[in-house]
């Protein structure tokens, strides 16, 4: 049995303190595309460039590179809007947008919540709810989410 090809991801990690413009982040995506990377990860950080817009710019500037979010958060982003945004990016790019989702974090121990008034008691369940809702939306279903988690 032949092993599957190792996939390589390059991340721009626009962490706090970075001063790269969106154009420069897109330039890095072009370099990653030309260098043969399989994926390019765009961080979704509070108070930084908007992840979906940056991902779209990167997808439009590359031909084969998959671009993923690192990671969007169902507690700070509406699931229906995320599903719509990823469907749009996927359509624009020939299915190269990757939906990276997690519970989000302001640090190693604190889930992003303060500004939205959420107190996610079960972050894994919240991510699962969001993923399930997004999948159903992409399948064309009408979806209502009660946000139990």
CATH code linked to domain 9-138: 3.20.20.30
Residue with tokens 């299915």: 95
The pLDDT tens digits of the residues spanning 63-87 come to 999 999 988 988 788 899 999 999 9
With a cut of 80, say whether residue 53 has pLDDT above it. Answer: yes
Where exactly are the structural domains of the chain? 9-138
Average pLDDT of every residue of the chain: 83
Tokens 């595309």 belong to: 33
């Amino acid at each position: 049995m032949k092993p599957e090809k190792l996939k390589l991801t390059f991340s721009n990690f626009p962490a706090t303190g970075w001063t790269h413009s969106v154009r420069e982040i897109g330039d890095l995506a072009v370099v990653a595309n030309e260098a043969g990377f399989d994926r390019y990860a765009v961080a979704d950080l509070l108070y930084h460039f908007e992840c979906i817009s940056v991902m779209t710019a990167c997808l439009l500037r590359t031909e084969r590179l998959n671009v993923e979010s690192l990671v969007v958060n169902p507690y700070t982003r509406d699931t229906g809007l995320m599903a719509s945004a990823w469907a749009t990016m996927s359509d624009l790019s020939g299915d190269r947008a990757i939906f990276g989702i997690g519970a989000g974090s302001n640090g190693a121990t604190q889930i992003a919540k303060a500004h939205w008034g959420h107190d996610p008691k079960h972050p894994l369940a919240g991510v699962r709810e969001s993923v399930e809702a997004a999948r159903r939306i992409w399948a064309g279903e009408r979806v209502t989410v009660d946000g139990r988690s």
